[in-house]
Amino acid sequence: MQQETARSGTIEITYREAVREAIRDAIKRDNRVFLMGEDVGRYGGCYAVTKGLFAELGPERIRDTPLSESGFTGAGIGAAMAGMRPIVELMTVNFSLLALDQILNNAATIRHMSGNQFGVPLVIRMATGAGRQLAAQHSHSLEGWYAHIAGIKVLAPATVEDARGMLWTALEDPDPVLIFENVMLYNMSGKLAADAGPVNIDKAAVRRPGRDISLITYGGSLWKTLDAATTLAAEGIEAEVIDLRSLRPLDDATIMASVAKTRRAVIIDEGWRSGSLAAEVGMRIVEQAFWALDAPIGRVCSEEVPVPYPSHLENATIPQAPKIVAAAKAALGRP
Amino acid sequence: MDRSDIREVIQEELNNIAPEIDLASVDPAADLREALDIDSMDFLNFVTAIHHRLGLDIPEVDYPKLVTLDRAVAYIEAKLGSSKT
Amino acid sequence: MAEFRMPSLGSDMAAGTLVEWLVKPGDWVKRGDIVAVIETQKGAIEIETFQPGQIEKILVDLHTKVPVGTPLALIRMEGEAKLGAAAPAPPPAVPIAAPPSVPVSVAPPSPPPPPVAPRAAARAPASPAARRLAEERGIDLSTVTGSGPAGAITYTDVKRRLAEAVAAPEKRRAPWLDLDAMRTAIAAAMARSKREIPHYYLEHQVDVTACEQWLAQKNATLPPENRLLFGALPIKAAAAAARRFPAFNGFYRDNKFEPAQAVHVGVAIAIRGGGLAAPALHDTDQLPLDELMNRMRDLVQRTRAGRIRSSEMSDPTITVSSLGDRGVEALYGIIYPPQVAILGFGKTVVRPWVVDGAIGPRSVITITLSADHRVSDGHAGALFLAEIGKLLEEPSKLWTVPTFAK
Amino acid sequence: MTALADKPHLSREHMLDLFKQMIRIRHFEDKCYELYTQEKIRGFMHLYDGEEAIAVGIIPVLEKRDRIVSAYREHGHALVRGVPMTAVMAEMYGKQEGCSRGRGGSMHLFDRATNFHGGNAIVGGGLPLAVGLALADHMQGGDIVVVCFFGDGAVAEGEFHESLNLAALWGLSVLFVCENNLYGMGTALALSESETDIQRKAACYRIAAEAVDGMDVVAVEAAARRAIHAVRNNRKPYFLECRTYRLRAHSMFDAQLYRDRTEIEAWRPKEPIIRFQGWLQSNHMIHPEDIPRIEAEVDAEIAEAIAFAEAGTWEPVEHLTRFVYAESAVPADR
């Protein structure tokens, strides 16, 4: 549990505990809020995010569902249309594919197609990313697909502060919001203000200021990118690290301000390169900051293969700090 | 925009006005008008350039605060700092 | 007489082929009756009539493909005269109201990103940032060595080139501004002026405190690019006065004086690294102060870049020279032939001055006149200088155009 | 037809209203067919010809606060529920005065005022929504009934089974109404379902179910009263299979190669309007002048709806991106 550091008012907390606290806080503050998902109740969540909530908040508000992703996601949409503020947990992005029709053709579309008569104030949380040797079917990173859909918002909390603070703001949003939690972050612990509350969900954040190059990333890749920046700093290269936080809408202003200053950009994205979110960010930089560029825009994405089971191959597939360092140096024309 | 950026902008603009003077050799505390043989027209162009590049309005009363390189950097840094909050 | 038309059964159906008529002329039909079968890409479809009445005439033969909307048969409505038997011409077919054209204007396209300006293909590729810096600083990319891949020029390359430019002033100065040639020309003119023109010199001190205050108050409201320099006021005053004292505004040629119709004040401009020129500000007396300031700024910038027009060199009708705030109190100029006068404005100095009987610190400037005694005498020169002094004491008057009726 | 005696509600006035409601749907859609051939209506359009008794039998029994989810054969449901005919016609023209601002068309009629939660063009797509609507009401302590209309084609979808299970598992007040018209577009029921007695499928989820002759509006209404009462009071889902037949093609551009004309002709005399008219006449509940009066009233309403749609305006292209998201400012930071 969190160790209370009374003096400075901050606590040491894991990403998992931050998400759990966000869910508990939301359910306690608003009786329209309830959580629905496979094994979220009695089992305590397959990543133990909701452990203890069932006993504390009861079966109505922490609702186990059968393995019917399309069914209960559609039910979440219907409940949201009728005044509830459901949190649907799709265990991982890999299983969300079964609910993609409900998310796209109902959740994302109803407000526009009904001429603004019905909205869907729904939050869907799902784990994402590789790194646990779960092989191809359990290691996808498809945030870029969802960030393509008009009518929903897409978030990627990478820090404990965002894991704690994004949920409430998302629940207050009148439109569907998807929150992607990278599996490798659940065990990560970090400092959090004891009274930490909601945060904004539409701005990117400069996690490390720098002058020579902009490293633009999100979610699980943030920490690898910060490691790479530290390595680069030792070689006199000051890299600026941008955490997108919101994948739709993208905070163009923060991205362009950074690139205008550094004149170089590398985008780190765990999705496959072709048609990836990195491709979209890169294109926006070309559209809006072309005349500031002093080198081609670089990308570090996953190799375009189904993620293999053995760890040495899995590590070779997804972005790692050395690859980021190499891409940065290439952009700087350094060996 | 940190201090070194400001100095760089000033030197670039002074370089436009007096290209043949090697700014590195100019004493940062010396009166620029003397050191670079700048007349009032040159100085007005310098102020206009700073206004465009940094979006800073520099009233005439402040001109004396810009007559040396050091004082110009300090003046602009203060002005930029205040305008950012 | 109503028309039975080829129906549209789908947005992707453009035409249909009639394969079977289920009715013949004379048959009575009611709404919803199946009257024909048409062949479409999806197969044969029975089509019904919405118009009750008697089939009058079949218009389309079997097995002919016709576009949607083509009349296939005529239906005579109850009580309507038969076609042909002295029947009036069939009423014009009720045109199916053409579907209101859906406004086809596509959503206003978001402004396409500015097209990439076609760049002259520089020999070595250069990064966008490098191109922009080079263009801003007037650097020829071909003179820059690229450190990027395949010799590509980067931003830092252009900056290094800029720094180099500073180190070598000779190479740096615009090659088209030959100072030596300019020096010989000045020497010849000054020598001729001293030889031929009997100069007489007058001096007049003027309290310009009002000018300074008016200027400070005016500039406080203007952004830097529109601010006025003190130097513009004497030029405006000189031009206005020259309009009233023609003896100082013209040319002495072929042993006689021709007064000039216009007033083109030649502004003496020092060029960096030595050199002097005094090109004309045309119709100076007609220019409002802000316009005069803009033209002066342009003239100075072009003069220092060596881009003066020939007319600007030959047209001055009188010259004004000012050493500005870093000069000396007074300067006695040499007339530029064929002109007949040159005014000098010294440095503004704060000195004790009697105002309404009391002594106080005032900003004072010394104005000097060198004039051609063949054309004018001291008395006229004194009046001319006094006029300029009076104008400088009421600066707000100088602001409007024209200061004095021509 | 059911015997007169045990039908307490069979007043003349109510019977004529049922009759008029069916005529209203039939004539409206008949006009839509004509307008479609004149290119006034585009896209897909699925007509209810022959199934009118289901909408007319069930929907009037609902309360105002109850909610409806339909599919793409939805004109009849919308009209009987009270979505103004003018707004429906304008929607089919694609005009912004339409009930979905012209953006949905025939398959996506929405109306917040009557709790009409839209058509849905994805077969089975509406079932989970209905479950969700009922879940919300359940959690808010309400007692509404959510009626979900779908065709026999939907029972093959996974969502059908997931939805029935969720509704039964969580005790939700959903009335599942399967309009079994024997064809899933071009596939006869027997060619797609191992068990063609559809109402039996509800038993797998312990949901009370019954089948009713969908061509008999009085029988449908009686079944609807029983079903809706059961759902509202037992707080449990109920499954009502209405056996019916569609006399027109699946949609406008369908050569109906999958059935022959004799089958259609055989069903024509059994269609609900002809049957009900015959029954009313044999029970002396309808007078000769009633029918022309009713038809005139209906046709006048339709003419007004068409005029409304013709006069309708196109939504300005500048509004293309409005309402992709809510326009009220979202409180970002608190």
Nearest residue to A211 (alpha-carbon basis) of A186, A181, A189, A241: A241
Q: Percent of chain B having pLDDT more than 90? A: 1
Most confident residue range from B39-48, C79-88, D5-14, D239-248: D239-248
Give the pLDDT score at C172. 44
Same domain, C46 and C139: no
**C contacts of A287 (beta carbons < 8 Å):** 113
- Strand C341-345, strand C318-322: pairing: parallel
Residue type, C29: V
Residue C221 has pLDDT above 90, yes or no: no
List per-block mean pLDDT (blocks of 10 residues) for chain D, which spans 334 residues.
Answer: 53 95 98 94 93 98 98 97 98 95 94 96 95 98 97 94 98 98 90 93 97 97 97 97 94 84 93 96 93 97 98 94 82 34
Alpha helices in chain A (DSSP H): 15-29, 53-57, 69-81, 93-96, 100-101, 110-113, 143-146, 160-172, 221-234, 252-262, 277-289, 311-317, 321-332
User: CA B4 to CA B15: how far, in whole Å?
Assistant: 16
> Cα angle at A295 between A292 and A301, to 5 degrees?
110
User: CA D103 to CA D109: how far, in whole Å?
Assistant: 9
The 10s digit of each residue's pLDDT in A82-126 is 999 999 999 999 999 999 999 999 999 999 999 999 999 999 999
Chains D and B touch (3+ CB pairs under 8 A): no
Whether residues C113 and A295 touch (CB distance < 8 A) is answered with no
Quote the tokens at residue C203: 């001096």
Q: Are D297 and D20 in contact (CB under 8 A)?
A: yes
Residue bearing tokens 């759902």: D231
Give the pLDDT score at D38. 92
CB atoms near residue A298 (< 10 Å):
21
Does B53 touch chain C if contact means CB atoms closer than 8 Å?
A: no
Task: Mark which residues 78-97 of D lie under 8 Å from A by CB.
Answer: 96
Whether residues B19 and C172 touch (CB distance < 8 A) is answered with yes
Which whole number is the average pLDDT over C162-176? 56
Interacting residues of A51 by C-beta distance below 8 A, sequence separation 6+ = A20, A44, A45
Residue type, A48: A
User: CA C240 to CA D175: how far, in whole Å?
Assistant: 97
Task: Assign C400 a pLDDT band (cuts: 50, 70, 90).
Answer: low
Q: Is residue C99 part of a domain?
A: no
**C contacts of D37 (beta carbons < 8 Å):** 5, 7-9, 47, 50
User: CA A155 to CA A181: how far, in whole Å?
Assistant: 9
The 10s digit of each residue's pLDDT in C293-335 is 989 988 888 887 777 777 787 789 999 998 777 778 888 888 9
Radius of gyration of chain C (CA): 44
CA D31 to chain C, closest CA, distance in angstroms equals 9
Residue C102 has pLDDT above 50, yes or no: no
Neighbours of chain C (3+ CB pairs under 8 A): A, B, D
Q: Quick check: is C63 catalytic?
A: no
Whether residues A294 and C130 touch (CB distance < 8 A) is answered with yes
The CATH architecture assigned to D12-319 reads: 3-Layer(aba) Sandwich (3.40)
Does B78 touch chain C if contact means CB atoms closer than 8 Å?
A: no
Quote the tokens at residue C330: 């007074």
Interacting residues of C22 by C-beta distance below 8 A, sequence separation 6+ = C34, C35, C36, C37, C46
Residue bearing tokens 């002809």: D274
Alpha helices in chain D (DSSP H): 12-37, 52-58, 75-81, 85-93, 126-139, 158-169, 217-234, 261-267, 272-282, 290-310
Interacting residues of C259 by C-beta distance below 8 A, sequence separation 6+ = C246, C247, C249, C250
Average pLDDT, chain C: 81
From C57, C76, C95, the end of a domain falls on C76
Interacting residues of A331 by C-beta distance below 8 A, sequence separation 6+ = A213, A264, A265, A266, A295, A296, A297, A298
Most confident residue range from C53-62, C187-196, D291-300: D291-300
Whether residues A113 and D139 touch (CB distance < 8 A) is answered with no
State phi, psi for A76 to the nearest 5 degrees: -60, -40
Residue C173 has pLDDT above 80, yes or no: no
Nearest residue to D58 (alpha-carbon basis) of D184, D155, D145: D145
Average pLDDT, chain A: 95
Catalytic residue among C27, C298, C325, C377: C377
Of A105, A174, A199, nearest to D326 by CB-CB distance is A174
When divided into structural domains, chain C yields a total of 3
Q: Is residue C379 part of a domain?
A: yes
**B contacts of C225 (beta carbons < 8 Å):** 48, 51-52
Give the pLDDT score at C94. 38
Whether residues C229 and B40 touch (CB distance < 8 A) is answered with yes
Q: Within chain C, how many helices (H) and strands (E) appear?
A: 10, 19
Residue C195 has pLDDT above 80, yes or no: yes
Does A4 touch chain C if contact means CB atoms closer than 8 Å?
A: no
| Residue C29, domain CATH | 2.40.50.100
Most confident residue range from A158-162, C340-344, D327-331: A158-162
Burial class (CB in 10 A: 0-12, 13-18, 19+), D296: exposed
Domains A3-193 and A205-332 share a fold: yes
Residue bearing tokens 């209370």: A4
- Strand C15-21, strand C34-40: pairing: antiparallel
Alpha helices in C209-356 (DSSP H): 209-219, 232-244, 289-304, 310-314
Give the pLDDT score at C84. 57
Whether residues C127 and A290 touch (CB distance < 8 A) is answered with no
Maximum Cα–Cα distance for chain C, whole Å? Answer: 124
CA D323 to chain A, closest CA, distance in angstroms equals 5
**C contacts of B36 (beta carbons < 8 Å):** none
* Pairwise pLDDT comparison (A7 vs C293), residue with the higher score: C293
Whether residues C173 and B39 touch (CB distance < 8 A) is answered with no
CB pairs under 8 A between A and C: 31
Task: Assign C122 a pLDDT band (cuts: 50, 70, 90).
Answer: very low
Q: Is residue C83 part of a domain?
A: no
Residue of B nearest to C171 (CA): B20
**D contacts of A173 (beta carbons < 8 Å):** 326, 330
Residue bearing tokens 């005029």: D307
Neighbours of chain D (3+ CB pairs under 8 A): A, C
* Pairwise pLDDT comparison (D201 vs C135), residue with the higher score: D201
> Cα angle at C354 between C352 and C360, to 5 degrees?
45
* Pairwise pLDDT comparison (A201 vs D251), residue with the higher score: A201
Residue bearing tokens 């002066």: C296
Whether residues C154 and A333 touch (CB distance < 8 A) is answered with yes
CA A263 to chain C, closest CA, distance in angstroms equals 7
Quote the tokens at residue A181: 């939690």
Residue C290 has pLDDT above 60, yes or no: yes
Residue type, C214: W
> Cα angle at A143 between A139 and A148, to 5 degrees?
140
Q: Are C381 and C389 in contact (CB under 8 A)?
A: no
Quote the tokens at residue C195: 């030889």
Same domain, C254 and C306: yes
Q: Which domain holds residue C143?
A: 128-172
Whether residues A198 and D128 touch (CB distance < 8 A) is answered with no
Of D43, D255, D321, nearest to C45 by CB-CB distance is D255
Whether residues C224 and B21 touch (CB distance < 8 A) is answered with no
Task: Mark which residues 91-150 of D lie under 8 Å from C by CB.
Answer: 94
User: CA C47 to CA C8: how far, in whole Å?
Assistant: 10
Whether residues B60 and C216 touch (CB distance < 8 A) is answered with yes
Buried b (16+ CB within 10 A) or exposed e, D179-207: bbbbbbeeeebeeebeeeebbebbeebeb
The beta-carbon contacts of D311-314 under 8 Å, at least 24 apart in sequence, are: D312/D90, D312/D93, D312/D95, D312/D96, D312/D97, D312/D98, D312/D102, D313/D95, D313/D96, D313/D97, D314/C100, D314/C102, D314/C103, D314/D94, D314/D95, D314/D96, D314/D102
Does C44 touch chain D if contact means CB atoms closer than 8 Å?
A: yes
Residue A271 has pLDDT above 50, yes or no: yes
Task: Assign C40 a pLDDT band (cuts: 50, 70, 90).
Answer: confident
* 3-class DSSP assignment, residue D122: coil
Does A292 touch chain C if contact means CB atoms closer than 8 Å?
A: yes
State phi, psi for D299 to the nearest 5 degrees: -65, -30
DSSP category for residue C12: T
Residue A62 has pLDDT above 50, yes or no: yes
Does B62 touch chain C if contact means CB atoms closer than 8 Å?
A: no
Residue A69 has pLDDT above 70, yes or no: yes
CATH of A3-193, picked from 3.40.50.2300, 3.40.50.720, 3.40.50.970, 3.90.180.10, is 3.40.50.970
Q: Is residue C191 part of a domain?
A: yes
Residue of C nearest to D94 (CA): C102
**C contacts of B59 (beta carbons < 8 Å):** 220
Which whole number is the average pLDDT over C224-229? 88
Question: C110-114, C138-142, D112-116 — which is least confidently predicted?
Answer: C110-114
DSSP category for residue C326: G
Interacting residues of D17 by C-beta distance below 8 A, sequence separation 6+ = D60
Residue of A nearest to D129 (CA): A78
CA D109 to chain C, closest CA, distance in angstroms equals 20
- Strand D208-213, strand D238-243: pairing: parallel
Residue of D nearest to C15 (CA): D37
What is the set of domains in chain B, with CATH numbers?
A: 3-84 (1.10.1200.10)
Whether residues B21 and C231 touch (CB distance < 8 A) is answered with no
| Residue C327, domain CATH | 3.30.559.10
Same domain, C279 and C385: yes
User: CA D241 to CA D213: how far, in whole Å?
Assistant: 9
Question: A102-111, A242-251, C31-40, C182-191 — which is least confidently predicted?
Answer: C182-191
- Residue B33 to residues B67, B71, C19, C268, Cα–Cα distance (Å): 7, 13, 98, 19
CA B63 to chain C, closest CA, distance in angstroms equals 11
The interface predicted TM-score of the complex, written ipTM, equals: 0.63
Neighbours of chain A (3+ CB pairs under 8 A): C, D
Same domain, C152 and C247: no
The number of C-alpha atoms within 13 Å of D241 and in the hemisphere containing its C-beta is: 21
User: CA C237 to CA A246: how far, in whole Å?
Assistant: 64
Give the pLDDT score at D8. 54
Chain C contact residues (CB < 8 Å to B) = 137, 162, 165-167, 169, 172-173, 216, 219-220, 223-225, 227, 229-231, 270, 272-273, 296-297, 300-301, 324-326
Does A292 touch chain D if contact means CB atoms closer than 8 Å?
A: no
The CATH architecture assigned to A205-332 reads: 3-Layer(aba) Sandwich (3.40)
- Residue C75 to residues C17, C46, C92, D322, Cα–Cα distance (Å): 20, 18, 13, 47
Give the pLDDT score at D288. 92
Q: Are D198 and D152 in contact (CB under 8 A)?
A: yes
**C contacts of A261 (beta carbons < 8 Å):** none
User: CA A101 to CA A110: how far, in whole Å?
Assistant: 13
Task: Assign C113 a pLDDT band (cuts: 50, 70, 90).
Answer: very low
Domains of chain A by residue range: 3-193, 205-332
Q: Are D83 and D171 in contact (CB under 8 A)?
A: no
DSSP string of C44-107, one letter each residue: EEEEE-SS-EEEEEE-S-TT-EEETT-EEEEEE-TTPPPSSSSPPPPPPP-PPPPPPPPP-PPS
Give the pLDDT score at C92. 40
Whether residues C154 and A293 touch (CB distance < 8 A) is answered with no
Q: Are D130 and D174 in contact (CB under 8 A)?
A: yes
Residue A268 has pLDDT above 90, yes or no: yes
